[in-house]
Chains A and B, each alone.
Chain A
């Protein structure tokens, strides 16, 4: 008996099994992604997510983490949200991915629901299998509608890694694959209206694409009036305004779409991540009638086998329904208020270290007084049971994204853990500086 137990794999998932976490890590390096695997080991985050439920993820070791990364809002509603799971499970008794060529039940139902939820002017929905593809659809649509080629994005923008989307983002990801095209994709500094106007003035721009709050750049907030001014410039110079609401949509700012807090009716709105309910990949591009021309001219213009997979549509319908409940909106306001006040309290105790809070609803960026500050905090939060990620394009800033259904007691526990993690990170940074001196 003893010997057979010893040979039993400890981590048996039915379809596969591993003897240990170190086996997973070794094989991940061998067969999957050696650099990424090594990166997290080096960063002191040896995480392999096993069990997941509500706002908790569990490492293979059993260590529990409160998830405030949420993969950019993918897990907005928590991990394996019971209502979404139930909806998708039931749907599997009847639906599969579906045939993208034909009009479909679930795609039509979701499109109608998305249009009903959208800012004024939106009338059509195009589906993608993920955010990058959705951005590509948005950019192609803008080019078709305006018959112009240039797309303006901001410096350090992030809109995904697909063919066109990658051109709008940081060079790090485009040059690696020889995909940078600066002549078609000018980048202008964020919050710089003059630079924006210089690029637009030539009237050769198809669209400006903006995240309502640039996530991967650490959620720098648009200056008051900035987005509004960009939108009116777009109108003046005949460019379209594409709102990338992948991270700011779905109630994260306390309204369903963050852009509506600016009174902006975008020409195109892109949603992804959270719309999947974290259960079945799907993304969507919402178009106003001017942009919808190609859907009348050549509806086969963009083809995507998995885009708008019907099971994904069901997950999205349920996720959207949860997001638009009045109770959900109210709770987001409570959570934003409570967490914001708690963070300001913690900040007041670490004024030289925790130097800024960027917040709009439950979209938050925490600034630290060190060029790599957020990496220190990330690791100490990890040690103290909280998973939040640094901003790839500004590692001073920690992305802090509590779920929109966070319960009061978990919110309190989260703040307790964050306070300790931030203090410990400060001690480490201060100690390191002391030693350097």
Chain B
């Protein structure tokens, strides 16, 4: 019996995964020769298809993972579908760039096959995000989702893949792993067909991506300090911090971890925060919450993305049902203080400091514990404090007078909107910016002799890329099939139909947004 069981359970996953990369290689090679208008059409189709299902998939994500708040996920899903379309609508990662003065021509060259690891906390938004930036840059992509969210991620990927291919993308340009596992992910990461790994996930996974031997863009975890000094507009700061900390029940890696407040304004700020829905834990209650969240010195993942009332109940603390955030005061930002570590649930550490300068130092202490290179926030009107905070904290983005969840992820600031926050050299990553399409494309530079006598040829109007003549690849009809009426191939929808479809999708999005605002 044991032998037959072994035969039957030979892991199919790894060979299938390798086959996906192989198919992606063919798709990527074809895609790399597409012209800009076709790429724009494909990206728009995928984004709109994703947006149309943003609510449904947000609910599925919460149902599958138990993490977060569906209506907040809708906002992220929209931001990472049609939102990206708006942000990057004017960008072009396909056409040649001409620099006649420098006598350089730049030809965009996609990475080829992108292997994307996506997390359970922001499953659909991250899948949408990575697919779209891959499509914008003409890359094939294979999504390997976190096992906790594999069903909804497969659904999200299928949604965009079908729309992209219907709009003309090469067959297999977007693929996904149905049953992720550690051995499968390792095999995909180390496979020579993987051109770049884009890893969003736990530290272990990110380090494994870097160890794989393949180029990797991996990002580390956050542990976000937020400083409020005496110059801040306290009421607004309080509202923004509570909104941000409760957004999607703190599953974004950009959620605030520890509030550092100048003593002189601390009581007033906390009062405003209580009005906004925060509950200030007493010291014994704080100890109960700490013990519940970190039972053995590690964050208990049962609490990831759960709401404040549930967290309080589990800790044996009675709070009102409308409580959105639990405030947990502590005195010393040191590693053995568990509340100074990252908390992916609406529990916010609170640290009082005598001055803004001490606050900057406290923030540095928080970032020594975790979250190096990631993000920090500040609420202040004093440019000196803001500057010294930005120059001292070992992070690569500081959100100013805005909630950090949507601030550092570029949704409520003018940073690149992203589900993947580059932590740079501070955070042992190769990328210090928010991940964006530019990171998935290299440029071949045609560099002319700098001597004035050598004149650069006129490249204007030239393009090495072409629109595909039909589906890619062509269906393999027999070579003498021209003699017969060919079986009808599903034709692309006519222009009017496409416009109608777009209008319909726009209506749906607007309706959903309205519901969210009302809710």
Using a CB–CB cutoff of 8 Å, the interface residues on chain A facing chain B are 83, 86-87, 90-91, 93-94, 105, 221-225, 253-254, 261, 314, 321-322, 325, 327-328, 330-338, 340, 357-361, 405, 407-408
Q: Which residues of A contact B474 (CB under 8 A)?
A: 333, 337
Segment among B23-31, B333-341, B393-401, B498-506 that sits at the interface with chain A: B23-31
In whole angstroms, what is the CA distance A86 to B23 when docked?
22
- Is B483 a contact of A327 with CB atoms below 8 Å? no
- Is B29 a contact of A361 with CB atoms below 8 Å? no
Tell me which of A94, A330, A359 contacts B23 (CB under 8 A).
A330
Tell me which of B22, B29, B472, B481 contacts A405 (CB under 8 A).
B22
Q: Which residues of B contact A332 (CB under 8 A)?
A: 476
Closest residue to A327 on the B side, CB-wise?
Answer: B19
- Is B479 a contact of A221 with CB atoms below 8 Å? yes
Q: Which residues of A contact B475 (CB under 8 A)?
A: 254, 333
Closest residue to B170 on the A side, CB-wise?
Answer: A334
26 intermolecular pairs with C-beta atoms under 8 Å apart: A83-B15, A90-B6, A93-B3, A94-B4, A254-B475, A254-B476, A321-B12, A325-B19, A327-B19, A327-B23, A327-B175, A328-B19, A330-B172, A331-B22, A331-B26, A333-B475, A334-B23, A335-B26, A358-B480, A359-B478, A360-B476, A360-B477, A405-B22, A407-B22, A407-B25, A408-B26
In whole angstroms, what is the CA distance A383 to B7 when docked?
43
- Give the number of residue pairs across the A-B interface with Cβ within 8 Å: 91
CB-based closest 10 A-B pairs: A224-B484, A254-B476, A327-B19, A337-B473, A334-B26, A94-B3, A359-B479, A360-B478, A336-B476, A361-B476
In whole angstroms, what is the CA distance A308 to B22 when docked?
32
- Is A330 a contact of B26 with CB atoms below 8 Å? yes
Closest residue to B477 on the A side, CB-wise?
Answer: A360
Q: Which residues of B contact A338 (CB under 8 A)?
A: 26, 473
Q: Which residues of B contact A314 (CB under 8 A)?
A: 7
B28-47 vs A: 1/0 string, CB under 8 Å?
01100000000000000000
In whole angstroms, what is the CA distance A335 to B27 when docked?
11
Output the least CB separation between B488 and chain A (Å): 13
Closest residue to A411 on the B side, CB-wise?
Answer: B26
- Asked if B16 is an interface residue, CB under 8 A from chain A, the answer is yes
- Asked if B20 is an interface residue, CB under 8 A from chain A, the answer is yes
- Asked if B460 is an interface residue, CB under 8 A from chain A, the answer is no
Q: Which residues of A contact B479 (CB under 8 A)?
A: 221, 340, 357-360
- Asked if B10 is an interface residue, CB under 8 A from chain A, the answer is yes
10 more A-B contacts (CB under 8 A) besides A333-B475, A360-B478? A87-B7, A221-B479, A223-B483, A253-B476, A314-B7, A325-B19, A327-B16, A330-B473, A333-B474, A359-B476
Q: Which residues of B contact A261 (CB under 8 A)?
A: 478
- Is A333 a contact of B171 with CB atoms below 8 Å? yes
In whole angstroms, what is the CA distance A86 to B479 when docked?
37
In whole angstroms, what is the CA distance A93 to B20 when docked?
30
Q: Which residues of A contact B175 (CB under 8 A)?
A: 327
Tell me which of B23, B481, B484 contacts A331 (CB under 8 A).
B23
List residues 466-518 of chain B with CB under 8 A from any CB of chain A. Answer: 472-481, 483-484
Output the least CB separation between B451 and chain A (Å): 36
Closest residue to B479 on the A side, CB-wise?
Answer: A359
Number of residues on chain B facing chain A (CB within 8 A)? 32
Q: Which residues of A contact B473 (CB under 8 A)?
A: 330, 333-334, 336-338
Closest residue to B12 on the A side, CB-wise?
Answer: A321
Q: Which residues of A contact B472 (CB under 8 A)?
A: 337
Output the least CB separation between A57 and chain B (Å): 21
Output the least CB separation between A161 and chain B (Å): 28
Output the least CB separation between A290 and chain B (Å): 28
Name, among A328, A331, A332, A336, the residue most crowded by chain B CB atoms within 10 Å (CB to CB).
A331
In whole angstroms, what is the CA distance A81 to B238 when docked?
63
Do A86 and B16 contact each other (CB < 8 Å), given the known contacts A221-B478, A327-B172, A336-B476? no
In whole angstroms, what is the CA distance A105 to B484 when docked?
45
Name, among A222, A330, A357, the residue most crowded by chain B CB atoms within 10 Å (CB to CB).
A330
Q: Which residues of B contact A224 (CB under 8 A)?
A: 478, 480-481, 483-484
Closest residue to B28 on the A side, CB-wise?
Answer: A408
Q: Which residues of B contact A337 (CB under 8 A)?
A: 472-474, 476
In whole angstroms, what is the CA distance A321 to B19 when docked?
12
Q: Which residues of A contact B480 (CB under 8 A)?
A: 221, 223-224, 358
Tell me which of B25, B476, B477, B484 contacts A225 (CB under 8 A).
B484
In whole angstroms, what is the CA distance A222 to B23 when docked?
30
Q: Which residues of A contact B4 (CB under 8 A)?
A: 94, 105
Closest residue to B175 on the A side, CB-wise?
Answer: A327
Do A90 and B10 contact each other (CB < 8 Å), given the known contacts A359-B479, A360-B478, A408-B26? yes
- Is A327 a contact of B10 with CB atoms below 8 Å? no
Q: Which residues of A contact B15 (CB under 8 A)?
A: 83, 322
Output the least CB separation between A276 and chain B (Å): 18
List residues 170-210 of chain B with CB under 8 A from any CB of chain A. Answer: 171-172, 175
Tell me which of A253, A325, A357, A408 contacts B25 (CB under 8 A).
A408
- Is A408 a contact of B29 with CB atoms below 8 Å? yes
Q: Which residues of A contact B6 (CB under 8 A)?
A: 90
In whole angstroms, what is the CA distance A340 to B476 when docked?
10
Q: Which residues of A contact B481 (CB under 8 A)?
A: 224
Output the least CB separation between A232 and chain B (Å): 16
Closest residue to A94 on the B side, CB-wise?
Answer: B3
Closest residue to A224 on the B side, CB-wise?
Answer: B484
Q: Which residues of A contact B171 (CB under 8 A)?
A: 330, 333-334
- Is A90 a contact of B29 with CB atoms below 8 Å? no
Closest residue to A220 on the B side, CB-wise?
Answer: B480
In whole angstroms, what is the CA distance A328 to B16 when docked?
10
Closest residue to B171 on the A side, CB-wise?
Answer: A330
Output the least CB separation between B27 and chain A (Å): 8
- Is A327 a contact of B25 with CB atoms below 8 Å? no
In whole angstroms, what is the CA distance A91 to B480 when docked?
43
In whole angstroms, what is the CA distance A225 to B4 when docked?
47
Closest residue to A360 on the B side, CB-wise?
Answer: B478
Q: Which residues of B contact A321 (CB under 8 A)?
A: 12
In whole angstroms, what is the CA distance A336 to B479 when docked?
11
Q: Which residues of B contact A105 (CB under 8 A)?
A: 4
- Is B7 a contact of A94 with CB atoms below 8 Å? yes
Closest residue to B23 on the A side, CB-wise?
Answer: A327
Q: Which residues of A contact B478 (CB under 8 A)?
A: 221-222, 224, 261, 359-360
- Is B22 a contact of A90 with CB atoms below 8 Å? no
In whole angstroms, what is the CA distance A105 to B3 when docked?
13
Name, among B6, B25, B476, the residue most crowded by chain A CB atoms within 10 Å (CB to CB).
B476
In whole angstroms, what is the CA distance A83 to B17 when docked?
13
Q: Which residues of A contact B7 (CB under 8 A)?
A: 87, 90-91, 94, 314
In whole angstroms, what is the CA distance A330 to B19 when docked?
10
Q: Which residues of A contact B23 (CB under 8 A)?
A: 327, 330-331, 334
Name, among A314, A321, A325, the residue most crowded by chain B CB atoms within 10 Å (CB to CB).
A325
In whole angstroms, what is the CA distance A16 to B268 when docked?
91
Output the least CB separation between B443 and chain A (Å): 22
- Is B476 a contact of A333 with CB atoms below 8 Å? yes
Closest residue to B482 on the A side, CB-wise?
Answer: A224
List residues 143-192 of chain B with CB under 8 A from any CB of chain A. Answer: 171-172, 175
Output the least CB separation between B178 and chain A (Å): 11
In whole angstroms, what is the CA distance A226 to B481 when docked?
12
In whole angstroms, what is the CA distance A405 to B15 when docked?
12
Closest residue to A261 on the B side, CB-wise?
Answer: B478
B55-80 vs A: 1/0 string, CB under 8 Å?
00000000000000000000000000
Q: Which residues of B contact A340 (CB under 8 A)?
A: 479
In whole angstroms, what is the CA distance A338 to B25 when docked?
13
Q: Which residues of B contact A328 (CB under 8 A)?
A: 19
In whole angstroms, what is the CA distance A340 to B479 when docked?
9
Q: Which residues of B contact A221 (CB under 8 A)?
A: 478-480
- Is B10 a contact of A86 with CB atoms below 8 Å? yes
Q: Which residues of B contact A333 (CB under 8 A)?
A: 171, 473-476
In whole angstroms, what is the CA distance A99 to B387 when docked?
83
Name, among B27, B30, B477, the residue most crowded by chain A CB atoms within 10 Å (CB to CB).
B477
Closest residue to B172 on the A side, CB-wise?
Answer: A330
Closest residue to B30 on the A side, CB-wise?
Answer: A334
